[in-house]
Amino acid sequence: MSESAEGGSVAVRQNPGRQAAKLASRVGSFVLTLAATFVGLTAVTFFISRLTNIDPVLAIVGDKATSAAYDNAYLALGLDKPLIVQYFIYLMRLLTGDFGRSVLTSQPVLADLLRVFPATFELATIAIIIGVVVGVPAGVIAGATKGRWPDQVIRVVGLFGYSVPVFWLGLIGLFVFYGKLGWVAGTGRLDVFYQGVVTQRTGVILIDAALEGNWEIVGNAFSHLILPAGILGYFSLAYVARMTRSFMIDQLSQEYFTAARIKGNSYWRAVWRHAFPNIMVPLITVIGLSYASLLEGAVLTETVFAWPGLGLYITRALFNSDMNAVLGGTVLVGAVFITINLVSDLLYKLADPRLRAS
Amino acid sequence: MSAPLLTVEDLEVSFPGRTGFTRAVRNASFTLGRERLGIVGESGSGKTTMGRALLGLLPRTAQVTARTMSYDGTNLLTCTERDWQKLRGRRLSMVMQDPKYSLNPVMRVGRQIAETALLHLRTDRGDAKRRTLAMLEAVQIRDPELVYRLYPHQLSGGMGQRIMIAMMLIAEPDLLIADEPTSALDVTVQNEVLRILDDLVRVRGMGLVMISHNLTMVSSFCDRVLIMYAGRIVEECAASELQNAKHPYTQALIAATPSLDVRRTELATVTRDPEWLK
Amino acid sequence: MSDTLGTWLMSETPMSRRQAVIGSVYRAVRSIIFNPTALIGLIIVTLLIFMGIFAPLLSLGNSPLAQNLAGRLAAPSADHWFGTDELGRDILARTLYGARATLAIVALVSVIVVPIGLTVGTVAGYLGGWVDAVLMRITDIFLAFPRLILALAFAAALGPGIENAVIAIALTSWPAYARIARSETMTIAHSDFIQSVVLQGASTWRILFRHIVPLCLSSVIVRLTLDMAGIILTAAGLGFLGLGAQPPTPEWGAMVSSGRDVILDQWWVATIPGLAIFIVSLGFNLLGDGLRDVFDPKSR
């Protein structure tokens, strides 16, 4: 760049053709990664499901069926074909939106998933809000006070979160806040008394009840939600805070941070105004990952709190070798993973001027 | 020369290490008026540490002591964090080495410059922007309105460093510390950036401390030169007198400088004498 | 005398290779001992091992399996310090014996995971090209899966039991190690000393296992220690869901599960084993954090 000759004109360094090619190859490899992940996830689940020594035919026809009925079901399920062909057939059916029927609920798996997912969504969303609203500032403060007492306190709180078994914390939470103090409601999404009162629109009870203006139910749903969401939020907080702290420490040793202080910014102003915007990109990825793992169904939390979400659904299906349901749940998990990936990719292009298309 | 701007007596900076303290700056004393002072030394000689000590920006673990360290009547040794905030940027400022790292990558450069003005001058956003555009003009940016809206990654190194200068001078400090301001730049733009820096310092009648390892550049650019070796100032002389330096280290440094006028097959290397540290 | 030995050990300019090695070991041990969190972690982990070995002595003559239906769900007392469970078994004894199950799972998972992760990671990192691409894609697939659900699927497919729980956890844990080993390998593989070994005509396998693997080991071990808590929690989770050790073997997760229905009245049944899981994972986390501080000064 012959800068002196130009005497200060802007150095434009973009070649539109190459940029488009680069973008295309990035999108291409991204799609490929996702497709591979998706196929891999279904394949792993599919072959595991065939490893089980529980007979999928018996699960459908029952153990009192005649041998003719058994054979018919066997052929109908395509079990006489090689495994790889069975998998391929299954994959093709998935692509047309046919998830099969659940043995356990005798409903189409897709309908089941649409029913259970909002419960998980409601729980995961409140939890991630807690995780971000508390975890990010905690991580920033810990990183900015590295080695001193606020850092130590936040570190210990985080370590507890990494160490405590969630199912146990859930039980203790129920014992203390529901059993002893009576501050929150018990297991499930609503008291029996309120169930079925609100028409399902979104499946998210807080929203459905609010739409009808039924604040009593909103309150009841909230008091059921707050304990499991708080516990999940604590775990996501521990993770988010730990990652934020280490991103922050990296930034604080950068020259631009010192430059910001030389300009006369106070330490904390430089932390929030200069260093913090620079950790947005990795932070979005971390929050995305954390949200994805919550949406994929918090199996143990949902079990402890009898929360009728995705995690509980997949677990129950596994125990009953309801393979259509397990596979359907897995596909949904994969879809969630892909969506979150896409969204965080989009978000961090907005957050970083270097990635933003001009 | 009027009363000195900066007085430093017996400055000591040390960092805790595995087996005790490492003394990065030892017994450094000097004064500075509204002149251009060069500090020259190899990497690790303590010149950057000394520069940062003058701005109160050393890491928490560093131990800083001095008999006197005062700036224009302010005792820097007793400054609180709040006092420092008022000094930095407004009274004394610093241009750092590499604009690629010293500009905030996610903030438009105009806002970065205007921020200094907003922090120190009683002004509003509109006025800060006007001042910023004027400042961009002063560092010879051709299209200030356009550059105002750019991000650092869209600038070349020479432009980046001019932005840095604008950012550090907009609040009109009396003293500027320039820590290797051109060593990260292409050779072709080094002189131009130096010229801009020189003009601004001259016109505003500021003091300048130029920290560098480049003896030739410093001697042609500054009025006075301090030579640092292993944390101590081993020699102080007028830039014009540098060729007559007495200290063996300075002489060795001069001998090790390549020159276009004298043809040499082999560059001299510096032979160190432990005596120098006594 | 001890002063000069101290200086010799702490020297920043060791005079021999032996001094450098001994010095760095000495400093590592020293910084673990002087790092309070790591020390607490080390003590907890040592106690766990101690508990496992001496469970018969420490359980005060109570058997972990002896049922006493008359004295079921008894509150903590002088006879049963931590009370009894739904079959009248002593919770203290069961908790102590439960340490064995935890130790067994942790040890077995480490033995399986580290070699697999190291092999996949170093091979992928050193050979590069399509081998790397294929291996890493497989790794990504396993990483994309929610860990507990995958472990659950494996455990459900293979049938419940402690061995299958170990296999399930190992299958879901190795990708992280492969990732670490790969990135370490990539930096090591380009260094000059590996190039010089190549020039000396060493075979690929020799380079991998004699030169690269030993250098990846320390970061893998740090990661393993940090992961221990996760392994213990996953194992306990599987136990809680009934897919871990089968009754009547005492296992902490299963013990919490058995106290679940009576949590509101007989809180101790679930509380004590849960607390044991918590303390032990905390111990491993503290130790791992300390080790990371020692081995990786950057993240301090």
CB neighbour list of residue C267: distance below 8 Å, 6 or more residues apart = A175, C259
Contact check, Cβ <8 Å, B103/A259: yes
- Select from A141, A223, A134, A237 the least CA-distant residue to A186: A223
Judged by CB atoms closer than 8 Å, whether chains meet at C11 and B19 is answered as yes
User: Closest Cα of chain B to A46: distance in Å?
Assistant: 45
How many cross-chain Cβ pairs, A to B, lie less than 8 Å apart?
A: 113
- Torsional class of A97: left (φ above 0), alpha (ψ -120 to 50), beta (otherwise): left
pLDDT at C54 over 90: no
Q: What is the pTM of this model?
A: 0.84
**A36–C240 CB contact, under 8 Å:** no
On chain C, the residues whose CB falls within 8 A of the CB of B18 are 10, 12, 27
Task: Using a CB–CB cutoff of 8 Å, tell me whether C11 touches chain B.
Answer: yes
Q: Report whether pLDDT(A53) > 80.
A: no
Across C68-114, where does the E strand assignment appear? none
**Residue pLDDT, tens place only, C267-296:** 888 888 999 999 999 999 998 888 877 776
pLDDT at A147: 84
Q: What is the pLDDT of residue A256?
A: 94
User: What average pLDDT does the segment B24-52 reach?
Assistant: 88
pLDDT score at A11: 41
pLDDT in tens, B210-251: 998 888 888 888 899 998 888 888 888 888 888 787 788 888
| A113-151 confidence digits (pLDDT tens) | 999 999 999 999 999 999 999 999 999 999 999 888 999
CB C253 within 8 A of CB C162: no
Q: Which run of H or of E encompasses A40?
A: helix A16-51
A10-19, A153-162, A256-265, B71-80: lowest mean pLDDT where? A10-19
The CA-based angle C232-C238-C243, given to 5 degrees, is: 135
The tens digit of pLDDT for each residue in B52-67 reads: 999 988 888 888 989 9
Among A53, A178, A299, select the one facing C149 at the smallest CB separation. Answer: A299
What superfamily does domain A109-355 belong to in CATH? MetI-like (1.10.3720.10)
Q: Place A10 in a pLDDT band, splitting at 50, 70 and 90.
A: very low
DSSP B73: T
CATH number at residue B74: 3.40.50.300
For A266, the token pair is 């106070």
Q: Two tokens at B115?
A: 């921020």
Q: What is the pLDDT of residues C226-241, one digit of tens each?
A: 888 889 998 999 889 8
Mean pLDDT of A195-213: 83
What was the ipTM of the complex prediction?
Answer: 0.90
Q: What is the mean pLDDT of residues C171-183?
A: 87
Domain ranges for chain A: 16-95, 109-355
Starting at the earlier edge strand, list the strands of the sheet with B175-179: B92-95, B175-179, B207-212, B36-40, B224-229, B232-238
pLDDT at C196 > cutoff 60: yes
Band the pLDDT of A36: cuts 50, 70, 90.
Answer: confident
- Residue B1 within any structural domain of the chain: no
Q: Any idea which of A13-17, A34-38, A58-62, B75-79 has the lowest mean pLDDT?
A: A13-17
Per the structure, the complete domain to which residue B220 belongs is given by 6-277
Determine contact: B192 vs chain A, CB below 8 A: yes
Q: Say whether pLDDT at A15 is over 90.
A: no
pLDDT confidence of residue A17: 64
SS (H, E, C) A247-283: HHHHHHCCHHHHHHHHCCCCHHHHHHHHHHHHCHHHH
> Read out DSSP for A186-224?
-SSSS-GGGTT-SPPSSS-HHHHHHHHT-HHHHHHHHHH
Question: How confident is the prediction for chain C on average, in pLDDT?
Answer: 82
Query: C239 and chain A: CB distance < 8 Å anywhere?
Result: no
Q: Do C282 and A40 touch (CB under 8 A)?
A: no
Q: At C150, which helix (H) or strand (E)?
A: helix C147-158
Q: Which residues pair with B236 in a beta bridge?
A: B226
Per-residue model confidence as pLDDT tens digits over C130-143: 888 888 878 877 77
B173 phi and psi angles, rounded to 5 deg: -75, 165
Q: Which chains touch A (3 or more CB pairs under 8 A)?
A: B, C
Question: Mean pLDDT over residues B148-152, rounded?
Answer: 93
Closest residue in C to A39 (Cα–Cα): C141
Give yes or no for residue C19 having a pLDDT over 90: no
- Mean pLDDT is lowest, of A15-29, A39-53, B183-197, for A15-29
Please list, in sequence order, all residues whose beta carbon lies within 8 angstroms of the beta carbon of residue B125, skipping any fewer than 6 positions away.
B114, B118
Residue pair B168/B115 in contact by the 8 Å Cβ criterion: no
Average pLDDT of span A186-205: 82
Q: How many domains does chain B have?
A: 1
Q: Looking at chain C, which residue has its C-alpha nearest residue B19?
A: C10
Assigned domain for B250 exists: yes
pLDDT surpassing 60 at residue A9:
no
Nearest in space to A318 (alpha carbons), one of A336, A297, A304, A293: A297
- Rounded to an integer, what distance in angstroms lies between the CA atom of residue B67 and that of residue A209? 72
Distance CA A73, CA A10 (A): 73
Q: Are A264 and B119 in contact (CB < 8 Å)?
A: yes
**Mean predicted confidence (pLDDT) in B243-265:** 76
pLDDT above 70: residue B132: yes
Question: Which helix or strand (DSSP H or E) is residue B39 part of?
Answer: strand B36-40
Does the beta-carbon distance from C256 to A171 stay under 8 Å?
Answer: yes
**Between A13 and A283, where is the model more confident?**
A283
Confidence of residue A320 (pLDDT cuts 50, 70, 90): confident
Residue B249 lies in a domain: yes
C24 touches chain B (CB under 8 A): no
* Contact between chains at A353 and B151 (C-beta distance less than 8 A): yes
Q: Which residue has the higher pLDDT, B256 or A164?
A: A164
Mutation for testing the C interface, residue in A49, A163, A234, A301 having most C CBs under 10 Å? A163
**Shortest Cα distance from B18 to chain C (angstroms)?**
7
Per the CB < 8 Å rule, is B18 touching C12? Answer: yes
Q: Which residue has the tokens 């529980």?
A: A54
Neighbour count for residue B202 (Cβ, 10 Å): 11
Task: Evaluate if residue C199 carries a pLDDT over 60.
Answer: yes
DSSP at B22 = E
C134 touches chain A (CB under 8 A): no
Contact criterion met (CB below 8 Å) for B211 and B180: yes
Mean pLDDT of all residues in C249-266:
86
Residues of chain B neighbouring A256 (CB-CB closer than 8 A): 101-105
Cα C215–C218–C222 angle (5° rounding)?
155
Reading the block at residue B174, the tokens are: 């009396």
- Read off the pLDDT of residues A20-34 as tens digits, 9 standing for 90 and up: 676 677 677 777 767
Task: Judge whether C17 is closer than 8 Å to chain A, CB to CB.
Answer: no
Give the tokens for residue B267. Answer: 């560059």
CA–chain centroid gap for C183, Å, is 21
Minimal-distance CA residue of chain B relative to A12: B154
- CB-based contact A8 B119, cutoff 8 Å: no
Candidates C3, C8, C9, C10, partner chain B, best to mutate (most B CBs within 10 A) = C10
pLDDT confidence of residue A55: 67
Q: Which two tokens stand for residue A74?
A: 């066997």
- Pairwise CA distance, residues C183 & C216, whole Å: 9
Inform me whether the C-beta atom of residue A280 falls under 8 Å from chain B C-beta atoms: yes
Peptide linkage before B181 cis (omega within 30 of 0): no
Query: What average pLDDT does this structure show over B134-161?
Result: 92
Amino acid symbol at B51: G
- Rounded distance, CA A96 to CA C190, Å? 48
* Interface touch C141/A37, C-beta < 8 Å: yes
The confidence band for A56, taking pLDDT boundaries of 50, 70 and 90, is low
Residue A296 confidence (pLDDT) above 80: no
Q: Give the best residue of B18, B21, B22, B60 to mutate against chain C (max C CB count within 10 A).
A: B18
First-to-last C-alpha distance (Å) of chain A? 21
User: Which of residues C223 and B1 earns the better pLDDT score?
Assistant: C223
SS3 B228: strand
Q: Which of B87, B159, B164 sits opposite A11 (nearest CB)?
A: B159
Subunits in contact with chain B (3 or more CB pairs closer than 8 Å): A, C
The fraction of chain C above a pLDDT of 70, given in percent, is: 96
Q: Which of A63-77, B15-29, B85-99 has the lowest mean pLDDT?
A: A63-77
Chain B contact for C7 (CB, 8 A cutoff): yes
Residues of chain B in contact with residue A265, where contact means CB-CB under 8 angstroms, are 85, 115, 119
Is some CB atom of chain B closer than 8 A to the CB atom of A19? no
Q: Which of A182-191, B26-35, B152-161, C58-67 has the lowest mean pLDDT?
A: C58-67
CA B184 to CA B194: how far, in whole Å? 13
Q: Is the pLDDT of residue B262 over 80?
A: no
DSSP designation for B17: E
Residues 77-96 of B with CB under 8 A from A: 81, 85-90, 93-94, 96
